[in-house]
């Protein structure tokens, strides 16, 4: 989150991806930093997924990531 805040301060559009398990933490960090950080959440968990499952998650998240970096 701090990296995204740093990028935004430099004029670079940033978006972070996390699993749904971290939705509340992302909201809390955004508030603490005073920055509405765009983010995309994918289904939890991540670490036990196969390569094919991860590729599917990436394909499914692509449109949301693109929308987040081009909004504004």
Residue 35 · residue 56 · CB < 8 Å: no
pLDDT score, position 1: 80
The three-state secondary structure class of 6 is: helix
33, 36, 40, 46: CA torsion to nearest 10: 10
42: Cβ contacts below 8 Å, ≥ 6 apart:
17, 18, 19, 20, 57, 60, 61
Evaluate if pTM is beyond 0.85: no
pLDDT in single tens digits along all 72 residues of the chain: 888 888 888 988 888 899 999 999 988 988 898 888 888 999 999 999 999 999 999 999 999 999 998 986
Question: Where in the sequence is the domain holding 4, given as residue range(s)?
Answer: 1-70
pLDDT score, position 72: 65
Q: How many domains does the chain divide into?
A: 1
- CB burial of 42-51 (b: ≥16 within 10 Å; e: otherwise) equals beeeeeeeee
pLDDT score, position 9: 86
């Amino acid at each position: 989150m701090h990296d995204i805040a740093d990028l935004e301060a430099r004029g670079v559009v940033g978006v972070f991806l996390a699993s749904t398990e971290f939705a509340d933490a992302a909201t809390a960090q955004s508030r603490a930093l005073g920055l509405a950080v765009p983010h995309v959440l994918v289904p939890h968990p991540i670490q036990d997924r196969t390569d094919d499952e991860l590729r599917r998650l990436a394909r499914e998240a692509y449109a949301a990531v693109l929308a987040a970096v081009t909004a504004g």
